[in-house]
Chain A
Amino acid sequence: MTAGNALARSGEAGDDLLFWLGFLLIVVPPAVAIVGPRPSRGARVTLLVGVGFLLYLTKVLHDPFAFTFSDELLHLSNTEQILREGALFPENPILPVSVYYPGLASLTAALSIATGLGAFPAGLIVIGAARTLLMLSLFLLFERLTGSARLASVAGFVYIASPNFLFWTAQFSYQSLALPLAGVAALAVVMRGLERDQNDRQGWTVLFMVLALAVVMTHHLTGYALVATLVAVSLAALAGFGRAREAAWALALFTAVAAAVWLFQVAPIAGDYLGTIFGRSFGGVADTVAGTSEARRPFRSSEGEVAPLWERVTGYVSVLLLALALPMGLFRILRRRRRSAFLVVAGAAGAAFMAILPLRLVPSAWETANRASDFLFVGIGLGIALAALHLGRDGRATAPRRAAAAVFIAVVTIGGALVGWPPSARLSQPYEVRIGDRSVQPPGVALAHWSRRELGPGNGYVADESNGRMLLAYGQQRPFTGRDGLARYALESTAVTPELRAALRENGVAYAAVDRRRVSRDALQGIFFARPGQPLQGRDGYLPPERTGTLDRPDTDRLFDSGDVVVYGVAGLYR
């Protein structure tokens, strides 16, 4: 995979082939091994954790110089600000809600100052530990729910096919840390439900409370998902599924109160943030159903990039395989409904994953469906594992069965990775390159460093998605970005209107970074050099001059010019 990434950065052919070959080598042989009955429990855990961690390394080696994913730069900025100022709730104009869930940033900052490492390596360690914890907790959770290490390891492998596993939950972002902590909290709930001894139940309760508090401080949605899970388990226990002592009303209440206190006392902005996202999702669904809004076309990015045919076919087949196998697994879960209320809830989560797949066709609801998969795929893992082990219930791991398992795992894991990340961002892009005899970083990095050094920190900026993130993370500026709102208004206007002057003044915007490359609007790809073989200006070419020249006026200053990126001092527009 590293060789594939190197080829991609060099613009050479064969990069995709090597990448997927490496992916299959990591995933398939261990998957085939754990399907059989022979491996010991220790071997199963080792394989599962090993594969999960290797896939995390895949992400690390994708960007070994710095955090480059769009959300990573936002959380890096939060971390750096805590390191500089030693205090919580710094300013983050691109994702304001993130500063009010400071678990990841604070832990990374603490590890950074305690080890002497920078925020980047400290963040890699934190997320690496989180990935390890996710795999361990999933294994134990599945094992307790099914009573079988074999089932647990198979279910864990199926979870790897979750669309967000390869990159999204491996990135330096608050959900990547909150999800594993919630996994251990869920394990504590299951263990508590199994215990008869009051002392042991109390022990699990205390452990749960510590973990739940950490989740609440780290990520809003994961905290709410934990509450929803506990309520669902308690309702299931009340309805006669599993054991009555599995009911976790007190834990649900504790988590709900903690999440509510945090929401209202610390992060009231989260209500608006999530309300906007869900409101847009529901509105989008209604519009799409009514036919007033165009449906989203799968495997086509918002920038119009269409995935190759083989990727589309594999993606559809992977979903089809899961959809075909899941009902059998859900049937097995129903037959075991007396065993565990949590198991029933997990089955319902698997069914819910399938039920909300159509949301991926709604442009404004796609992201909601995608994020939900991190939680709901736990049910897919359990369901598919139960189905697979039922099909092979005589315990014989024959060659055809192993081959079928290998093909199944290969298709669903590749399908998940394909669905989860755009093709052109899947392999490495040139970040630190050799030009002549020197290592050089992209102009956006130079812009960020220049801004911090020459302008000082905290200046109001309007910028595109990629330069804005660099200005925030490395330039310590206060950038406004986004496809809506002030940044778009300022950067895409063809005339300087009184309204624009007023908006710039009201928001304290003193500078505008104008990048004439269209790709700079893409937060995932705009920060990189163009790959060798691509045009100098990137895959999408330049914006027309009338879209980039509006601010080039006698009453603005032109302070920075790197060719593609120009910084204007715009305070003269409203002074």
Chain B
Amino acid sequence: MTVRRPAVWAMLAVLALAAATVCALAPDVPALRLPAALALALWLPGHALVELLGLAGRDRVRTLTLALGASLAIALIVAVELAAFGVLAAETWAATTAAACFAASLAVSHRHAALGPATRVAPGPPRPRHLALAALAVTAVAAVGTAVVLARTPLPVPDDRGYTVLAVAPTASGSGAVTVRATSEEATSRSYVMRVSFGGRVAEERALTLEPGETSEQRVSVPPDAAGPLVVSLLDTARIPPVPYRSVRVADPRRIEVVS
């Protein structure tokens, strides 16, 4: 049986327009955008469609389910269509979804007008006091919040899980130089010797100490007469004699480029 709620169409239309306006015009107010966008994706268009089709009934569970399902479907179809035309953006998606909701709401109003005066839905049975339920809900939310905080707390692992990255990349096309970056994700300060060699001949050695989280960047110029590969190694000075810890190599340093 179709149940008609007076002015539901007006409420849906106004909310849809308000939500779309917030999404489109308040990009820097996340506290407003989040509920507005969620309403457009999860509730408003589906609810309008369900009202339009006369499927909203006294059963709130059913209405909620249909509204959620239809909203997700509409928001999804709108997003796919906009992306297909390459115009998916906050403004277009919010406006199109809200327009669908608005059109359905207007159709609902016409439908109601054709059916005659609205009849109020009979009030449901009196609700019990919800204080206990509210307290339970607050407790549940607090428990979930605690769980989220605990789960998102990075836990310590043994220091040997840390690592150092040594990487090489061209400085610029045809510049005749490379950029060598050493980044430490180790637990403690580490000392190295950075050795640069061309064709097996050591061109440069320098001490390098990396603090945890530190990145050292070094530009290595390739001499015109460089023969053989460029090799850059980090030698671990904690060992005697120092041993190669990380190593990168460019096979032909005179032709340094990135292949894309």
Decide if A203 is an interface residue (CB 8 Å cutoff): yes
Decide if B106 is an interface residue (CB 8 Å cutoff): no
Question: Given A82-B88, A438-B212, are A510 and B70 also a contact pair (CB < 8 Å)?
Answer: no
A140 touches B61 (CB 8 A): yes
A560 touches B165 (CB 8 A): yes
**A550, B76: Cα distance in complex, Å:** 47
A109 touches B83 (CB 8 A): yes
A207 partner, pick from B49, B153, B154, beta carbons under 8 A: B49
Q: What's the minimum C-beta distance from A14 to chain B, rounded to whole angstroms?
A: 15
A559 touches B248 (CB 8 A): yes
Which one of A238-246, A304-312, A561-569 is at the B interface? A561-569
Decide if A111 is an interface residue (CB 8 Å cutoff): yes
Question: Given A428-B151, A443-B165, are A184 and B247 also a contact pair (CB < 8 Å)?
Answer: no
Q: What's the minimum C-beta distance from B20 to chain A, rounded to whole angstroms?
A: 9
In the assembled complex, which residues on chain B have CB atoms less than 8 Å from the CB atom of A217?
76-77, 80
B54 partner, pick from A45, A200, A536, beta carbons under 8 A: A200
Decide if B191 is an interface residue (CB 8 Å cutoff): no
* B59-86 interface bits toward A, Cβ cutoff 8 Å, 1 = contact, 0 = none: 0011011101110111111111011101
**A111, B152: Cα distance in complex, Å:** 23
Quick one: which of A200, A530, A557 has the most chain B CB within 10 A? A557
Q: What's the minimum C-beta distance from A141 to chain B, rounded to whole angstroms?
A: 10
B54 touches A199 (CB 8 A): yes
A187 touches B65 (CB 8 A): yes
B167 touches A450 (CB 8 A): yes
B65 touches A115 (CB 8 A): no
Q: What's the minimum C-beta distance from B211 to chain A, rounded to whole angstroms?
A: 10
Q: What's the minimum C-beta distance from B135 to chain A, rounded to whole angstroms?
A: 16
A218 touches B76 (CB 8 A): yes
Residue of A nearest to B53 (CB): A203
A433 touches B161 (CB 8 A): yes
Decide if A3 is an interface residue (CB 8 Å cutoff): yes
Question: Given A3-B150, A86-B86, A217-B77, are A140 and B62 also a contact pair (CB < 8 Å)?
Answer: yes
In the assembled complex, which residues on chain B have CB atoms less than 8 Å from the CB atom of A529?
157, 161
Decide if A168 is an interface residue (CB 8 Å cutoff): no
* A95-113 interface bits toward B, Cβ cutoff 8 Å, 1 = contact, 0 = none: 0000000110011011101
* A1-44 interface bits toward B, Cβ cutoff 8 Å, 1 = contact, 0 = none: 11101100110000000000000000000000000000001100
A434 partner, pick from B55, B66, B76, B156, beta carbons under 8 A: B156
Decide if B169 is an interface residue (CB 8 Å cutoff): yes
B83 touches A133 (CB 8 A): no
Residue of A nearest to B87 (CB): A86
Which one of B9-17, B33-41, B218-226 is at the A interface? B33-41
A88 touches B165 (CB 8 A): no
Within 8 A of B (CB), among A194-221: 199-200, 202-204, 206-207, 210-211, 213-214, 217-218
Decide if B237 is an interface residue (CB 8 Å cutoff): no
Residue of A nearest to B213 (CB): A438
* A222-253 interface bits toward B, Cβ cutoff 8 Å, 1 = contact, 0 = none: 00000000000000000000000000000000
Q: What's the minimum C-beta distance from B43 to chain A, rounded to whole angstroms?
A: 10
A532 partner, pick from B66, B78, B158, B251, beta carbons under 8 A: B158
B151 touches A115 (CB 8 A): no
**A137, B70: Cα distance in complex, Å:** 12
**A404, B43: Cα distance in complex, Å:** 40
Decide if A370 is an interface residue (CB 8 Å cutoff): no
B27 touches A116 (CB 8 A): yes
**A188, B63: Cα distance in complex, Å:** 12
In the assembled complex, which residues on chain B have CB atoms less than 8 Å from the CB atom of A86?
83, 86-89
Decide if B242 is an interface residue (CB 8 Å cutoff): no
In the assembled complex, which residues on chain B have CB atoms less than 8 Å from the CB atom of A102?
80, 83
Residue of B nearest to A138 (CB): B65
A61 touches B167 (CB 8 A): no
B162 touches A440 (CB 8 A): yes
Residue of A nearest to B188 (CB): A436
Decide if A290 is an interface residue (CB 8 Å cutoff): no
**A449, B90: Cα distance in complex, Å:** 27
Which one of A294-302, A334-342, A453-461 is at the B interface? A453-461
**A387, B223: Cα distance in complex, Å:** 83
Q: Can you name 22 A-B residue pairings with CB atoms under 8 Å?
A: A41-B61, A88-B83, A107-B76, A109-B83, A125-B38, A129-B68, A136-B61, A136-B64, A180-B69, A207-B70, A214-B74, A214-B77, A434-B157, A435-B185, A435-B187, A435-B212, A443-B165, A446-B185, A459-B259, A557-B249, A559-B167, A562-B163
Binding site for A on B (CB under 8 A): 2, 23, 27, 30, 33-34, 36-38, 40-42, 49-50, 53-55, 61-62, 64-66, 68-70, 72-80, 82-84, 86-90, 93-94, 144, 147-148, 150-169, 183, 185-188, 212-213, 229, 245-252, 258-260
Given contacts A109-B88, A436-B188, A562-B163, 11 further A-B contacts (CB under 8 A): A2-B147, A10-B157, A64-B148, A86-B88, A103-B76, A106-B76, A140-B62, A217-B80, A439-B154, A563-B163, A569-B251
